Structure 1
Amino acid sequence: MPTSPVKPRALGKGAQVAFVAPSRPVTPDSLATASTIIGEWGLIGTNRHLVPGGRGYLAGETDTARAAKITEALCDPETDAIWCARGGYGAGRLLPLIDWERVRRMARPKLITGYSDITALHLAIAHELGWITLHGPVAALLKADGPAISRDSLRRMWTDNKPLGILPVPDESDGWQGQTRVTRTGIATGRLTGGNLALVASLVGTPWALQGDGNLIILEDVDEAPYRIDRMLIQLRQTGTFDGCRGIVFGSSPTCETVKDSRSSLTLFDVLDELLGDLGIPVVYGWPIGHTDHQWTLPLGAMATLSVEGDGQSSTLRIDESATMDERRG
């Protein structure tokens, strides 16, 4: 990731948002709610870069077809933002197939949003292009009647060209059931990077592996038993991913916290304490990042400050840098 990442322009009225499917199959009907939501913000959704068809758990008929659609969306001069429709699996298969040289030659920076399997695209775009990208909701799962924080955070990140400051943690009155838990206190500043733990681990040894040095790492996962989280964190430790890292935020991952037979397992909190607690950096768990209905949209590549205090309740994540250029696109 470059010292000064490349910023896309903030979205103004009439800006076009292209839906893409780098992972699992989606239908245009599944994007109707997202189109309506962004339409209320004055933005225009388009399916022209949505790869047709699917093959099992993969969108499109081939990886090549899927990669071509991603390349086209990145290079499209009429497209202002790219919103990934779903996660699942398949984005990692595209990384050597996307025409990065063409994108570097032809494309202007665009806002690219998604999470889970989309972590592969975030890390690849940071390596290949140096663009700021957004870890946030996927289009097919954003709910019109869901938590307002998820829609508001996305809208602000797309349309506001100022740093967002301290991000609000929802409370029980908003339906939030997450718990903030501190592994190690401290204050640290760095550029945000990371995403889904399984995807971060899967890219170790590739050109697109996460670089932790000097950065704040965000992680999250879903439906992974504590021993699997343990294995992936051990992999990252042993390959030096955390070397020089400034701090770690592990997003709320309730389906990973325990297993049914707790007598034969450590908890997720045991794992985080044992494997991250001795790194000498602030580490906190439980904020609305990733596989939760309540979801922050985070600017990967932007400067942020993590402040972790003893009880967790006073801990904060502050976004210190805007994700976009001042000039709005619309």
Structure 2
Amino acid sequence: MSKKNKLLKLGRLVSGDGIGVIAFSSPIESSRLERGLSALRERGFAVKVALQPSAEYGKTTYLFGSDSVSARAKAFGEMLEDPEVKVILAARGAYGSLELLPYLDFSALTANPKAIVGFSDVTCILLAAYERAGVTVIHGPSLDSCVAKIGVSKEAARSFSALLELLEGREINPFRGMTFNRLCGSERGEGPLIGGNLSLLSSLMGTPWEPNFDGHILFWEEVAEKPYRLDRMLVQMKLAGKFDHLQGVVVGYLSRCEHAQGLGPSAVDVIKNVFKDFDFPVLSGVPFGHELLNLPLPIGIHASIAGNSFELVESPVAL
């Protein structure tokens, strides 16, 4: 987002508001969809579902997508324009969001800011909305990864509660009282947040949707990528100058990102080597990404790093 433009914040979420669920990417298994929708309704929200998020589960009609590109793009546009929908929640991640980017119009989001929430493959939707509409968006749990599991997982329940507290304006900093691993760099950094899944960040490089990292704290996480692949993606962005003007780096879960039999450099070794010559602070072990405890990170909102602490310093809600 251009530094000349003021970030648009969100309206406060209240009980009875509408939450729209859309499968930007892959379809969701039907029983998980129903459990997630029931959990939203039990908490007093009106729920609207775009298209049929489970109809193509296990099929390849649209390759990896839940529906055609045109249908998903149209459904998203309708949710942006729907005054009853206050939050748009991703049903699932996986694959397929990238192909939507040329067909998305974010003008309705600028005119009427509302929260878009998701992670993983939905990273590209979040960053496009932030860059093109100038609205804060939420890197946070999806219906499938979290909401459908809150009845059986304390971590999932905590993640969903943290998301609601953030959107309702009851809590600014979900990371209050936590400490993390300081890997390298300076002691302090402050700036607006930007980031998401590393593979998606890498995939956006060289496209019209390449995000501007300058002046930001970059957060990223990854799942099922070996350390040599992490190294390749990070070095690509380093060579492209994407890290030259950062204020800090915050690393979330590196789920299943190990070499077979523990051979070779670790993911942490890779991170230390890539960022060793920069002055900004680099933290790891922050609870977001592909695990049940997936705390929300509002893109565009200011955060700070001090020693081994990381915290959000403003609300994404226009209080």
TM-score, structure 2 as length reference = 0.90
- Residue 299 of structure 1: SS of its match in structure 2? strand
Please state if 1:163 is matched with 2:172: yes
2:297 match: 298
1:2, distance to aligned residue in structure 2 (A): 4.0
- 1:291 and 1:114 map into 2 onto residues whose CA distance is 11
Matches within 5 A, 1:82-121: 82-101=88-107, 103=108, 107-121=111-125
1:33 match: 35
Please say if residues 30 and 54 of structure 2, whose CA atoms lie closer than 8 Å, have aligned partners that are also in contact: no
1:154 match: 163
Cα displacement string for residues 134-170 of structure 1 (whole angstroms, at most 9, x for unaligned residues): 0111101211221143122111122126533753549
Matches within 5 A, 1:184-199: 184-199=185-200
Q: Which amino acid aligns with 1:247?
A: G
Cα displacement string for residues 231-261 of structure 1 (whole angstroms, at most 9, x for unaligned residues): 00011101111121000001021411x2124
- 1:168 and 1:24 map into 2 onto residues whose CA distance is 36
Please say if residues 6 and 109 of structure 1, whose CA atoms lie closer than 8 Å, have aligned partners that are also in contact: yes
- 1:71 and 1:293 map into 2 onto residues whose CA distance is 30
1:53, distance to aligned residue in structure 2 (A): 3.6
Please say if residues 28 and 47 of structure 1, whose CA atoms lie closer than 8 Å, have aligned partners that are also in contact: no
2:76 match: 70
- 1:5 and 1:161 map into 2 onto residues whose CA distance is 20
Please say if residues 183 and 283 of structure 2, whose CA atoms lie closer than 8 Å, have aligned partners that are also in contact: yes
- 2:267 and 2:27 map into 1 onto residues whose CA distance is 31
- Residue 252 of structure 1: SS of its match in structure 2? strand
Matches within 5 A, 1:119-158: 119-142=123-146, 143-144=149-150, 145-146=152-153, 147=155, 148-158=157-167
- 1:211 and 1:280 map into 2 onto residues whose CA distance is 19
Query: Pairwise CA RMSD of aligned residues?
Result: 2.1
Summarize the Cα distance change of 1:161–1:9 in structure 2 as closer, same or farther, 3 Å threshold. farther
Q: Which amino acid aligns with 1:184?
A: G
1:185, distance to aligned residue in structure 2 (A): 4.2
- 2:311 and 2:240 map into 1 onto residues whose CA distance is 29
Give the unaligned 5+ runs of structure 1. Answer: 171-178, 310-314
Decide which of 44, 47, 52 is 1:45's aligned counterpart. Answer: 47
Please state if 1:323 is matched with 2:316: yes
Please state if 1:24 is matched with 2:17: no
Summarize the Cα distance change of 1:90–1:233 in structure 2 as closer, same or farther, 3 Å threshold. same
Summarize the Cα distance change of 1:222–1:259 in structure 2 as closer, same or farther, 3 Å threshold. same
- 2:51 and 2:178 map into 1 onto residues whose CA distance is 35
Which has the larger displacement, 42-51 or 198-207? 42-51
2:201 match: 200
**Number of corresponding residues:** 308
- Residue 291 of structure 1: SS of its match in structure 2? coil
Please say if residues 221 and 290 of structure 1, whose CA atoms lie closer than 8 Å, have aligned partners that are also in contact: yes
- 1:252 and 1:185 map into 2 onto residues whose CA distance is 22
Please say if residues 84 and 138 of structure 1, whose CA atoms lie closer than 8 Å, have aligned partners that are also in contact: yes
Q: Which amino acid aligns with 1:317?
A: F
Q: Which amino acid aligns with 1:156?
A: E
Cα displacement string for residues 171-220 of structure 1 (whole angstroms, at most 9, x for unaligned residues): xxxxxxxx835233411110000000000000001122121110000010
- 1:293 and 1:162 map into 2 onto residues whose CA distance is 20
Please say if residues 188 and 246 of structure 1, whose CA atoms lie closer than 8 Å, have aligned partners that are also in contact: yes
Please say if residues 52 and 59 of structure 1, whose CA atoms lie closer than 8 Å, have aligned partners that are also in contact: no
Q: Which amino acid aligns with 1:83?
A: L
- Residue 256 of structure 2: SS of its match in structure 1? helix
- 1:44 and 1:27 map into 2 onto residues whose CA distance is 21
TM-score, structure 1 as length reference = 0.87
Summarize the Cα distance change of 1:239–1:50 in structure 2 as closer, same or farther, 3 Å threshold. farther
Matches within 5 A, 1:251-290: 251-256=252-257, 258-263=258-263, 265-290=264-289
1:15 match: 17
- 1:68 and 1:215 map into 2 onto residues whose CA distance is 32
Summarize the Cα distance change of 1:269–1:120 in structure 2 as closer, same or farther, 3 Å threshold. same
- 2:129 and 2:299 map into 1 onto residues whose CA distance is 10
Matches within 5 A, 1:229-240: 229-240=230-241
- 1:213 and 1:23 map into 2 onto residues whose CA distance is 28
